[in-house]
């Protein structure tokens, strides 16, 4: 479930931008900084998961993911919000670790099914999380 938290912020990023007086470009950058950080973090996290082990890294990344989202939720300036979004993605990039765990624990004949279930859960989270965040 914590793998899907970033989608909770999607509907309110524009509101954060307005609250902190960001331009449209800066608000777009706030939205896209997550993907930019993901681009750089994924290979590093993959290498760390091979060195440290997948489960410890998944636990660490989930804990930092929660911390980064708490920082984002209580941010008082745009700079803190940007830092929280970057921290969330750099250390919270747990989707690749979760996929590696699926491939490690699933027999080869059922591996595709495991990835389909994971993808369906991820997609469902991206549909339900924004709705949930707007209702709260």
Q: How far apart are CA 27 and CA 122, in angstroms?
A: 25
The whole-number pLDDT of residue 47 equals 84
Helices 24-52 and 54-73 pack at an angle, to 10 degrees, of 160
CATH 1.20.1250.20 fits 2-131, yes or no: yes
How many Cα atoms within 13 Å fall on the side-chain side of residue 79? 0
The whole-number pLDDT of residue 91 equals 73
Helices 24-52 and 78-92 pack at an angle, to 10 degrees, of 30
- As given in the structure block, the two tokens for residue 67 are 């911390």
Spell out where 6-136 has E strands. Answer: none
The whole-number pLDDT of residue 5 equals 47
Question: pTM above the 0.75 mark?
Answer: no
How many Cα atoms within 13 Å fall on the side-chain side of residue 88? 29
User: In the block, which residue shows the tokens 């706030």?
Assistant: 30
The whole-number pLDDT of residue 8 equals 59
Give the pLDDT means over successive 10-residue stretches in the chain (136 positions): 49 81 90 83 83 86 85 88 85 76 88 89 78 68
């Amino acid at each position: 479930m914590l793998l899907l938290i970033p989608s909770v912020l999607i509907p309110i990023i524009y509101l954060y931008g307005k609250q902190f007086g960001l331009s449209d470009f800066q608000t777009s950058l706030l939205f896209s900084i997550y993907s930019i950080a993901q681009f750089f973090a994924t290979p590093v996290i993959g290498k760390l998961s091979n060195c440290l082990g997948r489960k410890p890294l998944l636990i660490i990344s989930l804990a930092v993911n929660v911390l980064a989202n708490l920082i984002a939720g209580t941010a008082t300036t745009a700079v803190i919000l940007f830092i929280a979004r970057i921290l969330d993605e750099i250390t919270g990039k747990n989707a690749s670790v979760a996929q590696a765990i699926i491939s490690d624990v699933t027999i080869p004949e059922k591996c595709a099914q495991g990835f389909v279930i994971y993808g369906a859960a991820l997609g469902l989270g991206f549909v339900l999380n924004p709705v949930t965040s707007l209702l709260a």
